[in-house]
């Protein structure tokens, strides 16, 4: 396997694959540590991570912080590889989760679902408190060159800090999407279009401040050939979520994983999430009930997302995703990327990364063979 390394500051992953952070219990310490052990970057998702804490309904904010600390420590016990957390800006206790992650010396914080304009503040506060350098890297998740430029300008002017990398998430991703519904199938917003734009947008900042800002491609990346394509386009690596759900080490229930294996192309739908964003998911009887108006507004037990319109929502998205994670797809649904219908088996993380490496090698070999005139 000839994967190039993925370097984010002084952190080096020998496999240029970041496992996407999948919230409400899909990617916890089990999956993250397995990916890290194979040379990639394993990611723990912070969204409703405290779902199994006994006091989560009564005390969700503290339960989520406590659970995040536990999962980071557990992942570090299971792996000496590169580990990250994914923390959505829209989370009610975003600041507390960031502080906890830095306190636990996580390698990388990935942050999207909004612009993380204050993220470096917490790193600087930690440095001042400890009176030593803190090595946690900060990586925003964006969907446009404009967002990348805004973050670079704001961080430099307010904190004298540039992002350590960017993850660029295209419209083929799973879960909540940073696009309007009408943009999802527009070629102008495709990952292939946006990646070069973001690379160009960060160049002036790299040159002026003499700092490399790797750009990582995400959303619809499925094969080793896809990885090769985006690296040839100038990306430093890729982020993949859907592929890692259908692994033995994924922290979801087996029935959740099987839903990926069973999914057909026509089962993939874009829903309107209670948090005010479109989301890509696998159709289930629950989704059908929502479409037919059979679900009715409920009280919010978790207060997990600031933008969630509880009074107008027909269901609690945290509860629906938690039910799905536990395998009860009649009372919830599974988020997924656009390529979920291509998943045909559940395998180990080791086998998955190995097969991606072989495909990557094959793509490089094919492109190096002179074409007949």
Report yes or no: 215 and 234 within 8 Å, Cβ to Cβ: yes
| pLDDT value at 138 more than 70 | yes
Write out pLDDT tens, residues 61-110.
899 999 999 999 999 999 999 999 999 988 878 999 999 999 999 999 99
The structure's pTM equals 0.92
Query: Both 302 and 232 in a single domain?
Result: no
> What pLDDT, on the 0 to 100 scale, is given for residue 5?
97
* Spatial separation of the C-alpha atoms in residues 125 and 99, rounded to whole Å: 9
User: Is 103 found in the same domain as 47?
Assistant: yes
Three-class secondary structure of residue 41 per DSSP: strand
Q: How confident is the model at residue 297 (pLDDT cuts 50, 70, 90)?
A: low
Residue 332 · residue 324 · CB < 8 Å? yes
Whether residue 163 lies inside any domain: the answer is yes
Residue 290 and residue 244 in one domain: no
Residues 357, 211 share a domain: yes
Answer yes or no: do 234 and 281 share one domain. no
Indicate whether 206 and 266 sit together in one domain.
no
Residue 179: which pLDDT band, with cuts at 50, 70 and 90? Answer: confident
Q: For residue 311, is pLDDT > 70? A: no
The answer for residues whose C-beta is within 8 angstroms of residue 307's C-beta and 6 or more apart is: 90, 275, 276, 277
Domain that holds residue 168: 6-252+347-362
Beta bridge partners of 305: 91
Residue 288, pLDDT score:
83
Classify the C-alpha dihedral 231-233-236-238 as positive or negative: negative
Whether 203 and 310 map to the same domain: the answer is no
């Amino acid at each position: 396997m000839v994967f190039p390394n993925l370097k984010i500051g002084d952190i080096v992953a020998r496999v240029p694959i970041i496992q996407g952070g999948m919230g409400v219990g899909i990617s916890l310490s089990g999956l993250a540590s397995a990916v890290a052990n194979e040379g990639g970057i394993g990611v723990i998702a912070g969204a409703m991570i405290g779902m199994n804490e006994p006091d989560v309904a009564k005390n969700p904010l503290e339960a989520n912080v406590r659970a995040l600390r536990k999962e980071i420590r557990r992942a570090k016990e299971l792996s000496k590889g590169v580990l990250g957390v994914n923390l959505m800006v829209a989370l009610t206790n975003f600041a507390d989760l960031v502080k906890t992650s830095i306190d636990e010396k996580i390698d990388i914080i990935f942050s999207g679902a909004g612009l993380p304009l204050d993220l470096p503040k917490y790193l600087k506060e930690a440095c001042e408190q400890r009176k030593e350098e803190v090595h946690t890297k900060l990586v925003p998740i964006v969907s446009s060159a404009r967002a990348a430029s805004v973050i670079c300008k704001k961080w430099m002017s307010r904190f004298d800090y540039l992002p350590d990398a960017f993850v660029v998430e295209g419209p083929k991703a799973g879960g909540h999407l940073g696009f309007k519904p009408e943009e999802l199938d527009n070629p102008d917003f495709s990952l292939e279009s946006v990646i070069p734009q973001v690379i160009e947008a960060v160049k002036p900042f790299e040159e002026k401040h003499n700092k490399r800002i790797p750009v990582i491609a995400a959303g619809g990346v499925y094969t080793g050939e896809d990885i090769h394509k985006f690296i040839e386009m100038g990306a430093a690596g890729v982020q993949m979520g859907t592929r890692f759900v259908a692994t033995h080490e994924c922290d979801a229930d087996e029935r959740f994983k099987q839903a990926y294996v069973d999914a057909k192309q026509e089962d993939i739908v874009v829903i309107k999430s209670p948090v005010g964003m479109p989301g890509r998911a696998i159709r289930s009887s629950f989704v059908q009930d929502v479409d037919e108006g059979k679900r009715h507004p409920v009280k919010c037990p978790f207060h997990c997302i600031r933008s969630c319109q509880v009074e107008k929502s027909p269901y609690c998205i945290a509860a629906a995703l938690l039910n799905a994670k536990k395998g009860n797809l009649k009372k919830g649904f599974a988020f997924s990327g656009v390529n979920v219908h291509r998943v045909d088996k559940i395998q180990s993380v080791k086998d998955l990364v190995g097969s991606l490496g072989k495909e990557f090698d094959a793509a490089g070999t094919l492109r190096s063979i002179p074409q007949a005139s």
